[in-house]
């Protein structure tokens, strides 16, 4: 695959069920069947601007699935696991883990549970407690991006972006754009009434035992953080399925009259929010509800906005970019009963910019 980097994540049989609330802890979900990362394809063709690496030493045209899984496990618990020369080992003994041991960690210890983030860097549970990578509640790994030339005199600079369109390369290969999709919608039978919205933004009320369809992928967020920046900054992406089963962006205290903003951010139209409150028979979540003004700016369409991921230049140091994936707990689509797979296809493109000396 040329000119692009591609990641494929398949999160299989993600089944969430509601658990009991308490006055101080809001554990909204419990995973009955573990989420698993099926595979990654992270490829760059040398000579086209940049190469990638997981250790900052060995740069290649592609990163293999197992290499990325090893880094996810290392980031999950650095006191217990370390990657040495591409091998996942126990810190204490130095012994390499076999495939079955690695799969067991991914199945039993690293599970995706609802979190939230206003900056894409710090993730918290819905009771505002910080979730570390050691919590095993989200996926994180970092990749070094480096210009293909080490010679400063080549004076080449490239901006790296997410690819936003289908591209046909000179050899006829088709490169698909970045996308987040569920293979199928999950049917959820409601155990309490809920409100959502009609096409005009008006309230649509559903009753107990009514059925709705949910795409798990609509609750997924991911962020990219260029760690070379002086001030911590990350882009948060919310690339929902383009379908009728998208119930909104965040539940918040938005009380304005703008129809589109109501559909995205009003708690009164948030399927997730109204469903859980009706299920409990009280406005239990009111004190935790995020403020509309505190919500992060998410990138919902790469056609409308496509920020630079990082910039690499010939003769300059590599840039380390951290990727994080989580289920957004305040998303209107974050329902108990989420299932099926979430296919995350990230393709990257490099764009040549003005020479380094000109800058």
Mean pLDDT of the chain: 81
C-alpha 203/C-alpha 126 separation (Å) is: 26
Q: In this model, does residue 6 exceed pLDDT 50?
A: no
**Which residue in 264, 240, 11, 252 sits closest to 118, CA to CA?**
252
Q: How many CB atoms lie within 10 A of CB 236?
A: 20
pTM across the whole model: 0.85
Q: Among residues of the chain, what percentage have pLDDT more than 90?
A: 45
- How far apart are the C-alpha atoms of 186 and 213, rounded to whole Å? 5
Residue 230 to residue 221: CA distance in whole angstroms = 24
- Give burial (CB, 10 Å; 0-12/13-18/19+) of 292: middle
Closest CA to 218 of 168, 189, 179, 268: 179
Sort strands 234-237 and 298-299 into parallel, antiparallel or unpaired. parallel
Highest-confidence range of 108-117, 304-313, 331-340, by mean pLDDT? Answer: 304-313
Place of tokens 């394809």: 41
pLDDT of residue 13: 24
pLDDT on residue 339: 57
pLDDT, mean of residues 266-279 = 91
pLDDT at 17: 28
pLDDT in tens, 90-111: 999 999 999 999 988 987 888 7
For position 169, what pLDDT does the model report?
61
State percent of the chain over pLDDT 70. 82
Asked if residue 12 has pLDDT above 60, the reply is no
């Amino acid at each position: 695959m040329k000119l692009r980097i591609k990641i494929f994540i398949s999160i299989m049989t993600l089944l969430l069920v509601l658990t009991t609330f308490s006055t101080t802890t809001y554990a909204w979900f419990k995973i009955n069947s573990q989420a698993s990362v099926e595979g990654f394809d992270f490829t760059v063709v040398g000579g086209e601007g940049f190469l990638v690496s997981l250790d900052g030493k060995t740069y290649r045209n592609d990163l293999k699935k197992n290499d990325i899984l090893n880094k996810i496990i290392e980031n999950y618990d650095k006191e217990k696991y370390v990657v040495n020369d591409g091998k996942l080992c126990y810190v204490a003994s130095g012994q390499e883990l076999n495939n079955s041991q690695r799969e067991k960690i991914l199945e039993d210890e690293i599970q995706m549970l609802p979190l939230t983030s206003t900056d894409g860097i710090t993730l918290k549970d819905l009771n505002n407690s910080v979730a570390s990578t050691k919590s095993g509640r989200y996926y994180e790994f970092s990749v070094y991006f480096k210009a293909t030339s080490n010679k400063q005199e080549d004076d080449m600079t490239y901006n790296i972006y997410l690819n936003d369109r289908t591209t046909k390369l000179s050899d006829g290969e088709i490169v698909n754009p970045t996308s987040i999709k569920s293979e199928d919608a999950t049917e959820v039978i409601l155990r309490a009434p809920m409100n959502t919205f009609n096409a005009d933004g008006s309230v649509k009320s559903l009753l107990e035992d009514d059925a709705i369809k949910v795409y798990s992928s609509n609750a997924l967020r991911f962020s990219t953080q260029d760690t070379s920046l002086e001030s911590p900054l990350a882009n948060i992406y919310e690339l929902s399925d383009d379908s009728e089963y998208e119930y909104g962006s965040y539940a918040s205290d938005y009380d304005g009259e703008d129809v589109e903003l109501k559909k995205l951010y009003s708690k009164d139209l948030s399927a997730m929010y109204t469903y859980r409150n009706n299920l409990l028979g009280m406005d239990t979540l009111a004190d935790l509800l995020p403020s509309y003004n505190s919500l992060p700016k998410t990138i919902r369409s790469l056609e409308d906005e496509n920020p630079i991921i990082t910039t690499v230049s010939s003769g300059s140091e590599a840039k380390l970019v951290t990727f994080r994936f989580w289920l957004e707990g305040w998303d209107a689509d974050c329902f108990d009963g989420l299932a099926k797979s979430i296919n995350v296809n990230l393709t990257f493109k490099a764009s040549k910019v003005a020479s380094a000396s000109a800058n």
